[in-house]
Structure 1
Amino acid sequence: MNTYRWLTVMCLVASMPVYASSGFKPIEVKDSELAELRGRYVMPGRIISFGIVMSSTWTNAVGDSITGKASMQIDSSTITPQFYVQTTGGTGTGTGQTTGTGTVTGGAGLGTGQGVVQSVRAAGDGNTATNNVGININENGLAPANLVQSGQVLVAGGTVTGTSGAGNVSVSAANGGLQMAIQANHNQGNSVQQIGGGNVLQGTVLQGNSNFVNNMTQLNVVMGSNGLNNGVLNCNLDQLKGLRTLGY
């Protein structure tokens, strides 16, 4: 009996290093595998309203300005999602605007980045430029009431343009995404925003002096409140309970 016990213990001890080296050896997780991980999830039907607002404004040294704004809001009553575009221009003193002499080179790789890419490149003095991306999540379960969207409807593959003394703005829908670009007058520079394909890009190039540029993209999500008695939630809990019989 003792011989049997000793043989059993020796076999277990002999097998432990092999088990540890194969089952508990730390390995590096590949980036491609990390990309598939999600820290949280939202159950189907939880999102009751979703909206996007994108705006860009350029104001030059003499007070001339150009603004582009695009917005979309969808909920359960939406039949066809549509972007509505508005362009406005403001007039300053109109005099004394000097031509930008700065030169910005490189940056070709900024347009091929993944995720959120933001850049400000300046070759002038006294400029202010901001890039903002915001996600606003509201869990009160109340969709925006009587939301009226105004402006020109942006059709797929189309472009809406506007102009002022500050420059030209163009808003276009292409390749399943939205792009907003401003080309400033007098060689002051340019800005671009685009969203689509899982990427968000915001970039500004400043070649003159005393310009103010603001790029903003805002995602607005309203989620319904699901209580513990919700049928879908209880269904998922029952599925989790079933895993206990399998040893999990």
Structure 2
Amino acid sequence: MNYVPPAVLAAAMALALPAHAAEPAAAAPGSGLHEIPDEELGQMRGRYTVGGNEVAWFGVTMISTWQAASGQTLQGALRIGMDFRNGGSPKVSFTPSVTVTAANAPLPDNIGRSIDGSGLDNVAGLSQSVQIAGDGNRASNVLHLNVRNDGVVPLHEGGGTGSASAQQGAASAVASFDGNSARLQLQVQGQGAVQQWMRSGGMGQSIQLLGDGQVAQNLVQIDLVKQSLVGNLPLSQNVAQAIALNRGIGGVGGQ
């Protein structure tokens, strides 16, 4: 059975629910109301699908490229897909790809330059970072979100977990997914690193360049495919009734 990171599933379901404006504050509760226990609220939370749609596919594609001044090129990509169409635990697919070419010139000496990105490990949510200690460099972090309602799921192959790596001299590229977190990393010893990751609680992009005249880019594309449930009338009626019964619940309810 494939294990799905809780943060990824939470992100998928959060994206599937349309945003609603906050309702006006209700009048102060009167007599005859009682507090709903946490256990009962826990059973209600997350049980209903709003808007007649459910998630059919959730996918993340990461692509990183790095062109060094020495002529060396590093490239890496990974794709994670989660197919929810059959219900229950989704089918997870993972496809990695990495390449590293040899340098055409000696790597420059960057003595005296330093970069520290260790604080990014403490960041929750989405983080994007660029740190440069050199001249004539170009760097960018890009994220795209694509939401479709046509229910058409892309073709997907590959195992549920795995890794791919490549190395040429001081340069290395690694793409990995262990079921809990995914990471794409391009690194040249003494020259910096280009990274992307997805783990419980967050997703990030980081570029660290110590040399001169380098070009680096990180790209993340998140794809969410939803399919309509309008044909399931009993389910739609049950959802509407449940929402109506729970409307305005904020820790209290009627007897």
Contact 2:134/2:211 (<8 A) preserved:
yes
Q: 1:154 to 1:47 in 2, by over 3 A?
A: closer
Contact 1:104/1:121 (<8 A) preserved:
no
Is 1:83 the counterpart of 2:94 in the alignment?
Answer: yes
CA deviation map 1:132-158 (0-9, x unaligned): 2222111122222xx1536xx573xx5
**1:222 Cα deviation from its structure 2 partner:** 0.4
Letter in structure 2 aligned against 1:104: S
CA deviation map 1:185-218 (0-9, x unaligned): 5x22112211010201211111001111111222
C-alpha distance in 2 between matches for 1:208 and 1:154: 37
CA deviation map 1:168-197 (0-9, x unaligned): 111233471111111125x22112211010
C-alpha distance in 2 between matches for 1:169 and 1:161: 5
What is aligned with 2:157?
Answer: 149
Is 1:177 the counterpart of 2:181 in the alignment?
Answer: yes
Matches within 5 A, 1:59-78: 59-75=67-83, 76=85
Contact 1:65/1:164 (<8 A) preserved:
no
C-alpha distance in 2 between matches for 1:176 and 1:243: 34
**1:83 Cα deviation from its structure 2 partner:** 1.3
Considering only aligned residues, what root-mean-square deviation do their CA atoms show, in Å?
3.2
SS at match of 1:239: helix
Contact 1:133/1:217 (<8 A) preserved:
yes
What is aligned with 1:215?
Answer: 218
What is aligned with 2:33?
Answer: none
Matches within 5 A, 1:1-248: 42-43=49-50, 46-75=54-83, 76=85, 80-90=91-101, 94-95=104-105, 97-101=107-111, 103-144=113-154, 147-149=155-157, 153=159, 155=161, 159-164=163-168, 167-174=171-178, 176-185=180-189, 187-227=190-230, 230-242=233-245
Contact 2:75/2:100 (<8 A) preserved:
yes
TM-score, length of structure 1 as denominator length: 0.68
Q: Which runs of 5+ in 1 are unaligned?
A: 1-22, 24-37
Letter in structure 1 aligned against 2:205: Q
TM-score, length of structure 2 as denominator length: 0.66
Letter in structure 1 aligned against 2:95: Y
**1:91 Cα deviation from its structure 2 partner:** 5.7
C-alpha distance in 2 between matches for 1:135 and 1:108: 27
Letter in structure 1 aligned against 2:214: N
Give the share of equivalent positions with the same residue, in percent.
Answer: 26
CA deviation map 1:21-46 (0-9, x unaligned): xx6xxxxxxxxxxxxxx9xx855971
Q: As a proportion of its length, which structure holds more helix?
A: 1
Letter in structure 2 aligned against 1:214: Q
**1:102 Cα deviation from its structure 2 partner:** 5.5
Contact 1:52/1:73 (<8 A) preserved:
yes
Moved more, 131-140 or 164-173: 164-173
State how many pairs are aligned: 200
**1:52 Cα deviation from its structure 2 partner:** 1.4
